[in-house]
Amino acid sequence: MTDTESTSKAVALQYNRFPYPHYPIFAKPLWQEGYWGSSLFIGRLLYDLRKVVPPALSSDHASHRILNAGCGDTQPYVLRKLEPSHFHIDCVDLSRTALRRAKLRTFPYVYKMSFHEQDLLAYTKNRAEEYDHIEAYGVLHHLEDPDQTLKQMVRCLKPNGTLRIMVYNSPARRWIHELQDLFQSLNFSPYRKADRAAARSLLAGLRGHCPSFSPRLAQISPLMLSNDARFVDTFFHAHELRRSIVDWFASFHRCGLEPFALFDRYAELDDLPNPLWELPQAQVLEERARANQFRNNLELLLYKRGHSHPHAITFPKLWHWRLKPAPRFWTQYEETAKLSFFDRLRIWHQLIGSLCGHQGSNGEKLPTRVEDRLARIGALCPR
């Protein structure tokens, strides 16, 4: 058995037993919270920032296709809701259990969706220029050979196709690595309930008595500690690559990708220009991560460098987005916490309008610091 096969087998075993993120099957995730991961948002941002017309917005492409790489059990539902109904979505995952749950969750909406139980390396092997956009959230760092898979994934993209990638911020996860190593040295197995319980009590003990761990452990949500899938994913993973931020960026560039935006979910980079509009250098992120000033995972938007023909743009309609209230997470920031329901709704409709190609005015002026925060979370467009 090759290294790739044995890693795949171990990872599949884990996600068959603990499909991720394992939200209750009848829970309906608030898909509008993920607007910034839709191919339309990413495509629009790319066009506004670089004047590149991505295939998802290009009138030149008759059929649109999205690849959800390592889809897990919930993302297919979110993507199906976010993407226009005529975009086909291919969901690929090693885990049969995750795919079964994903199919069940998307049951009434499975038009234009396909599910593939396969390793990404094998799935992408003989394909070329099929996809407008690839979503690879939280999967590359679990592959035996992420560079080879990434190279093949890039080949699967149409020219100027976009990707959203989330990979772990390894330098900021050193404390998690220490705990992973500790549990491994104690011979704990994620497949034994008693070992998971022992690991949880050990964490509770460390939280109470170990000053170097307690601030970190205090950040972990009780939900993460109580949800087996997320607990195992964090502390017992069958394969987690520990790779620096600089090395990830080098790998993206080698594969012909251009990272162009970073989502700063926890407002850790407020002293820098808006990272969604002006990507910080890898070295800067690396130094901050090592100094504990940047702990979020790397949530990046990228595109495949290609020939940029002056295609006309086709804008989607997105009627169903308009029926939803503004994303809840907008209010979690100090600057936006007091925005009224109606202001949020107005900004949400303005954002949808700009994704649909409307020029529209920005409406009422908000305080600069509120606008700045909204721009940093993609609620206001660069124009």
Ligand X SMILES: C[S@@+](CC[C@H](N)C(=O)[O-])C[C@H]1O[C@@H](n2cnc3c(N)ncnc32)[C@H](O)[C@@H]1O
Q: State which H helix or E strand residue 114 sits in.
A: strand 113-117
Instruction: Report 252-271 residues binding ligand X (CB under 6 A).
Output: none
Q: Taking CB under 6 A as the rule, does residue 231 contact ligand X? A: no
Q: Can you state the angle between helices 174-185 and 193-209, rounded to 10 degrees? A: 130
Q: Running DSSP on this structure, what letter comes out for residue 30? A: -
Residue 285 to residues 34, 280, 294: CA-CA distances in angstroms? 23, 7, 7
Q: What angle do CA 286, 47, 312 make, to 5 degrees?
A: 155
Q: What minimum distance in Å lies between the beta carbon of 194 and ligand X?
A: 25
233: contact with ligand X by CB under 6 A = yes
Q: What are phi and psi of 202, to 5 degrees?
A: -60, -40
The sign of the dihedral angle between the CA atoms of 291, 297, 303, 257 is positive
Q: Closer CB to ligand X, residue 74 or residue 106?
A: 74
Q: Which is nearer to ligand X, 70 or 316 (CB)?
A: 70
- Please pick, from the candidates 40, 91, 94, 154, the single residue that binds ligand X as defined by CB under 6 A: 94
- Mask for 102-141, x = binds ligand X (CB under 6 A): -----------------xx----------------xxx--
| Cα 219 → chain centroid | 20
Question: Looking at beta carbons only, is 133 or 373 nearer to ligand X?
Answer: 133
Answer yes or no whether residue 20 interacts with ligand X by CB under 6 A: yes
Stretch that binds ligand X, among 92-100, 188-196, 247-255, 334-342 (CB under 6 A): 92-100
Task: Compare residues 38 and 75 and give the one whose CB is closer to ligand X.
Answer: 75
Report the nearest approach of ligand X to the CB of residue 134 (Å).
11
Binding test (CB under 6 A) with ligand X, winner from 89, 91, 92, 269: 92
Q: Are 112 and 89 in contact (CB under 8 A)?
A: yes
Q: How many residues make contact with ligand X (CB under 6 A)?
A: 23
Q: Residue 354 Cβ, how far from ligand X at the closest point, in Å? A: 26
Q: Per CB under 6 A, which of residues 51..90 are in contact with ligand X?
A: 70-72, 74-75
Q: Does 146 bind ligand X (CB under 6 A)?
A: no
Q: Which amino acid is at 190?
A: P
As a dihedral over the C-alpha atoms of residue 142, residue 147, residue 151, residue 156, rounded to 10 degrees, the angle is 0
Question: 3-state class of 120 per DSSP?
Answer: helix
Contact in structure between 65 and 86 (CB atoms under 8 Å): no
CA distances from 32 to 247, 299, 328, 348, 372 (A): 32, 17, 9, 10, 21
- 3-17 and 96-105 are packed helices; what angle lies between their axes, rounded to 10 degrees? 50
The minimum distance between CB 351 and ligand X, in angstroms, equals: 23
Closest CB 20 distance from ligand X, rounded Å: 4
Least CB distance to ligand X at residue 16 (A) = 8
Is 156 a binding residue for ligand X by CB under 6 A? The answer is: no
Q: Strand 298-304 to strand 257-262: parallel, antiparallel, or no bridges (unpaired)?
A: antiparallel
Give the one residue of 45, 67, 143, 379 binding ligand X; rule: CB under 6 A.
Answer: 143
Q: Which residues bind ligand X (CB under 6 A)?
A: 8, 11, 15, 20-21, 70-72, 74-75, 92-95, 98, 119-120, 137-139, 142-143, 233
